[in-house]
Amino acid sequence: MKVVILGYGQMLMSLIAGCLDAGCDIVGVFRYDKVRYSLIDRFIVDTFNPSKEYMYIKSHKLYEIKARSANSAEFKKEILKLNADIVLVGTWGEKIKKPIINLPKFATINVHPSLLPKYRGPNPYLQSIRHLEKESGVTFHLMDENFDSGAILLQKHILIEQTDTGKELREKSAVAAREGVCELIKTLDTEIIIPVEQDEKYASYFSQISEDEIMLDFSKTAEELSAQIRGFHPWYKCYFEYNKQFFKPNPYKLQILDNDTEVKLSGTIVDKSHKDKSITVLCGDGKLLKMQDVKLYGFFSRFFTTFYIRYFVSKLK
């Protein structure tokens, strides 16, 4: 089985590792960095600050495809020359066109880190946590001209823990992708897999986050706010405003508490501590969200967080 792999970051390395586990022949790898950076910028980055995936590819002496886009004539020539049976795509920013999708002998297979048809789109890690899901997964599906809509070949399920951030879910998804691609390749070698069409009744799509969505709205429930802060990490920092100053919560230092005060107005600060840099706020469901190790926004301002909380943040305000 001759495989070409397109991807970025942890997902790319996991797909490579899974294909190696399956004993297939990886005839080419195409890093998304070759699309993101110019030739000069990529040379500088690869020389002086090489990525983990670049070093991983080099350590296994894999052939890197020479092209500037997955939709380019150069890429098409490479796939034909390499005589690829399968093209695997994991974490890719371009919409790949039908003539390219149809190039390999068997199929172009996308690896999407959600249980499709739920959470189509660019960041299902963030959205799965944000929407309070208890489970996520990785879906291997045939690629078509639409985003994440092709027939499903295999799915691997992942438990979302209450303390998981987007970072942990991404890491779990990478592990599941390695296991899944090994299983899929071995099955394709020996059996016939019947693709299962996605049920559009359960489909959901979420685009990139807007600037407005990084601000915390304490009229929401404490659980929703905790999920927002954790889900957005490590791609975005959430903020809340106090007296024209902005604080960044630590996604690993959140607690949901019962309200044992007389305060009823959501958004009210009911407790603070400069020692652990914590601020506790009443949320829309009557629960408290205690945020420890908060930081003032700004490179220099963050060093004055303890001082500011001690002298300028008031409880019951």
**Percent of residues, the chain, with pLDDT higher than 90:** 91
Q: Model confidence at 191, in pLDDT bands (50, 70, 90)?
A: confident
pLDDT mean across residues, the chain: 95
Give the 3-state secondary structure of the chain.
Answer: CEEEEEECHHHHHHHHHHHHHHCCEEEEEEECHHHHCCHHHHHHHHHHCCCHHHHHHHHCCCCECCCCCCCCHHHHHHHHHHCCCEEEEECCCCCCCHHHHCCCCCEEEEEECCCCCCCECCCHHHHHHHCCCCEEEEEEEECCCCCCCCCEEEEEEEECCCCCCHHHHHHHHHHHHHHHHHHHHHHHHHCCCCCECCCHHHCCECCCCCHHHHECCCCCCHHHHHHHHHHHCCCCCCEEEECCEEEECCCCCEEEECCCCCCCCCCCEEEEECCCCEEEEECCCCCEEEECCCEECCCCHHHHHHHHHHHHCCCCC
Tokens read off for 267: 């958004």
Least confident range from 8-17, 34-43, 117-126: namely: 34-43
pLDDT of amino acid 315: 75
| 2-202 placed in CATH 3.40.50.170 | yes
pLDDT of 145 reads 87
Q: Mind listing the pLDDT tens digit for each residue in 196-249?
A: 999 999 999 999 999 889 999 999 999 999 999 999 999 999 999 999 999 999
Q: Are 21 and 45 in contact (CB under 8 A)?
A: no
pLDDT band at 162 (very low <50, low <70, confident <90, very high): very high
Is 3.10.25.10 the CATH classification of the domain at 211-312?
yes
Q: Give residue 155's pLDDT.
A: 98
Question: By C-alpha distance, which of 94, 96, 92 is closest to 112?
Answer: 92
Q: 35-79 pLDDT, tens per residue? A: 999 989 989 999 999 999 999 999 999 999 999 999 999 999 999
**Is pLDDT of 24 > 90?**
yes
Residue 190 has a pLDDT of 84
Whether the pLDDT of residue 317 is over 70: the answer is: no
At 192 the pLDDT is 87
Mean pLDDT across 144-172: 96
pLDDT band at 189 (very low <50, low <70, confident <90, very high): confident
Peptide linkage before 195 cis (omega within 30 of 0):
no
Query: Is the pLDDT score of 277 beyond 70?
Result: yes
| Cβ proximity of 279 and 291 under 8 Å | yes
How far is it, in rounded angstroms, from Cα 59 to Cα 44? 19
Chain segment 249-263, per-residue pLDDT in tens:
999 999 999 999 989
| Residue-range domain boundaries for the chain | 2-202, 211-312
- Residue 15 pLDDT exceeds 80: yes
* CA distance to 156, 231, 305, per residue, from 170 (Å): 14, 10, 30
What's the pLDDT score for residue 230? Answer: 98
Q: How far apart are CA 232 and CA 216, in angstroms?
A: 12
Averaged over 109-113, what is the pLDDT? Answer: 98
